[in-house]
């Protein structure tokens, strides 16, 4: 094959043919064997005409006859479109940024029915958004995101169905009104919050005043009820005391001597008053004391002691008297009171207090500078001859 250290032309041509054939075989094998990954579809054309769609897996094509036109991603895709100016019904320009979630369901239609479905979806979204938002004012646009999303999705899904594309979700990422409108909205929001704060403050003050008034009302009612109960209890106590005294007096069969004794018991309280330092006793009062003293067995003349009357002989108390005394004592104890003292002892004590009061009254009249005139008490002793008046004492020189 090698002649005189040089290559034979026929050999060189053979080598070249072999090399070209090898390259052709390798290229044919590479072009014939196709491995399609998961979630991807390949569109195959044979001599420029659609042949088939390759699903995920291993496939053998006819070399140099079958050709892969395009690969389509079957996963859900997210496309964010730049903000688009939209005019609302109240002639305000707002900038709306949208996000589209879509998925290719028919690779053949996505390749042959539309040249670029991404651009088509974007333009369709802009036009639909302007139609939807153009029928709303700014307030409705800001508060009707779900409604706008639903309308956009319905229109886009209907239009992209024949392209083999399904719109899963449409979201308005942002709605930006003009700067001047944003300032006005912030002022409105601030004023609304101030109004709510003022209302809450006034409501709190109102509730506080209501609770305070209710507390004062209940306090006044309780205070009045307590005062009424105390008065009722005080009146009941006084009524009970009066009933006990009345029953004791009627049970003891009180006579004028006992009443005079009670009257004389009040004289020390009158004399011990802190409001007066000088006690002027009139002559008629002295005569009245004399009459009381005489009623108890005295002489009837103030300042003149009387001999004590002999005590009557003690008599044996009958069984009926003892029973009556015991019954009175039990009644008094049942009423919460104390039984009266012995009548004889009470009369003797009254006589002693009467004599002391008469002597005190006489001494007070003497200290007043005028002698005692018995004629002043002439009316107190009917049937006795009148006494001559006492001449007045000569004035001191």
Q: What is the DSSP string of 211-236?
A: HHHHHHHHHHHHHHHHHHHHHHHHHH
Question: Is the pLDDT reported for residue 340 higher than 70?
Answer: no
For residue 305, the number of C-alpha atoms closer than 13 Å in the C-beta half-sphere is 5
**Cα–Cα nearest to 261, from 249, 251, 278, 250:** 249
Q: Which residues fall within 8 angstroms of residue 344, CB to CB, at 6 or more apart?
A: none
φ, ψ of residue 335 to 5 degrees: the values are -85, 0
Query: Collapsing DSSP states into helix, strand and coil, what is residue 271?
Result: helix
CA 79 to chain centre: 53
- Inter-residue contact 278 to 368 (CB < 8 Å): no
Query: Collapsing DSSP states into helix, strand and coil, what is residue 103?
Result: strand
Read off the DSSP letter of residue 56.
S
Range with lowest mean pLDDT among 87-96, 315-324, 379-388? 379-388
User: Rounded to an integer, what distance in angstroms lies between the CA atom of residue 364 and that of residue 386?
Assistant: 24
Instruction: Give the Cβ contact number of residue 124 at 10 Å.
Output: 18
Q: What is the mean pLDDT of residues 365-390?
A: 53
pLDDT range class, residue 4, cuts 50, 70, 90? low
Average of per-residue pLDDT values in the chain? 76
User: Would you state the pLDDT for residue 8?
Assistant: 78
CA 26 to chain centre: 89
Using alpha carbons only, give the angle 188, 191, 193 rounded to the nearest 5 degrees.
110
Quickly tell me which residue has 């003797």 as its tokens: 348
User: Rounded to an integer, what distance in angstroms lies between the CA atom of residue 355 and that of residue 305?
Assistant: 8
User: Would you state the pLDDT for residue 372?
Assistant: 53
φ, ψ of residue 25 to 5 degrees: the values are -60, -45
Question: Is the pLDDT reported for residue 210 higher than 90?
Answer: yes
pLDDT range class, residue 240, cuts 50, 70, 90? confident
User: What does the pLDDT look like over 320-338, one tens digit per residue?
Assistant: 656 766 776 676 566 554 4
User: Would you state the pLDDT for residue 77?
Assistant: 92
Helix orientation angle between 256-271 and 283-295, rounded to the nearest 10 degrees:
140
Instruction: Give the Cβ contact number of residue 250 at 10 Å.
Output: 9
User: Rounded to an integer, what distance in angstroms lies between the CA atom of residue 226 and that of residue 235?
Assistant: 14
Instruction: Give the Cβ contact number of residue 129 at 10 Å.
Output: 21
Q: What is the mean pLDDT of residues 31-46?
A: 90
266 versus 53: the higher-pLDDT residue is 53
Entry pTM:
0.45
User: Would you state the pLDDT for residue 38?
Assistant: 92
**Cα–Cα nearest to 241, from 337, 153, 312:** 337
pLDDT range class, residue 1, cuts 50, 70, 90? very low
81 versus 249: the higher-pLDDT residue is 81
User: Rounded to an integer, what distance in angstroms lies between the CA atom of residue 148 and that of residue 125?
Assistant: 11
CA dihedral 74, 80, 82, 85 (to 10 degrees): 100
Question: Is the pLDDT reported for residue 244 higher than 90?
Answer: no
**Cα–Cα nearest to 106, from 41, 48, 57, 156:** 41
Question: Is the pLDDT reported for residue 128 higher than 50?
Answer: yes
User: Would you state the pLDDT for residue 312?
Assistant: 46
User: What does the pLDDT look like over 151-179, one tens digit per residue?
Assistant: 888 888 888 888 999 999 988 888 888 88
């Amino acid at each position: 094959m090698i002649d005189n250290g040089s290559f034979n032309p026929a050999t060189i041509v053979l080598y070249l043919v072999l090399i070209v054939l090898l390259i052709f075989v390798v290229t044919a094998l590479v072009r014939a064997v196709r491995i399609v990954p998961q979630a991807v579809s390949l569109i195959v054309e044979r001599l420029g005409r659609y042949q088939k769609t390759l699903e995920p897996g291993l496939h053998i094509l006819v070399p140099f006859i079958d050709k892969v036109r395009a690969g389509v991603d079957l996963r859900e895709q997210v496309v964010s479109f730049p903000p688009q100016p939209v005019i609302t019904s109240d002639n305000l320009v707002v900038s709306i940024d949208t996000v589209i979630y879509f998925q290719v369901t028919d690779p053949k239609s996505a390749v042959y029915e539309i040249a670029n479905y991404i651009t088509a979806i974007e333009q369709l979204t802009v036009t639909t958004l302007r139609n939807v938002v153009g029928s709303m004012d700014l307030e409705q646009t800001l508060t009707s995101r779900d409604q706008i999303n639903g309308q956009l999705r319905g229109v886009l899904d209907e239009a992209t169905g024949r392209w083999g594309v399904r719109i899963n979700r449409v979201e308005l990422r942002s709605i930006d009104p003009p700067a001047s409108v944003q300032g006005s909205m912030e002022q409105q929001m601030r004023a609304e919050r101030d109004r709510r704060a003022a209302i809450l403050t006034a409501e709190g003050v109102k509730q506080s005043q209501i609770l305070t008034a209710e507390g004062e009302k209940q306090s006044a009612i309780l205070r009045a009820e307590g005062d009424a109960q105390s008065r009722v209890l005080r009146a009941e106590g006084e009524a009970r005391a009066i009933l006990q005294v009345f029953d004791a007096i009627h049970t003891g069969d009180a006579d004028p001597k006992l009443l005079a004794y009670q009257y004389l018991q009040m004289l020390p309280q009158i004399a011990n008053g802190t409001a007066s330092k000088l006690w002027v006793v009139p002559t008629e009062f002295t005569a009245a004391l004399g009459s009381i003293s005489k009623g108890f067995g005295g002489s009837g003349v103030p300042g003149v002691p009387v001999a004590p009357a002999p005590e009557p002989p003690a008599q044996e108390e009958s069984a009926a008297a003892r029973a009556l005394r015991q019954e009175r004592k039990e009644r008094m104890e049942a009423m919460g009171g104390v039984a009266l003292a012995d009548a004889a002892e009470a009369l003797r004590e009254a006589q002693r207090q009467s004599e002391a009061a008469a002597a005190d009254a006489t001494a007070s009249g003497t200290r007043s500078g005028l002698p005692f005139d018995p004629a002043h008490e002439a009316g107190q002793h009917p049937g006795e001859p009148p006494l001559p008046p006492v001449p007045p004492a000569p004035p001191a020189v």
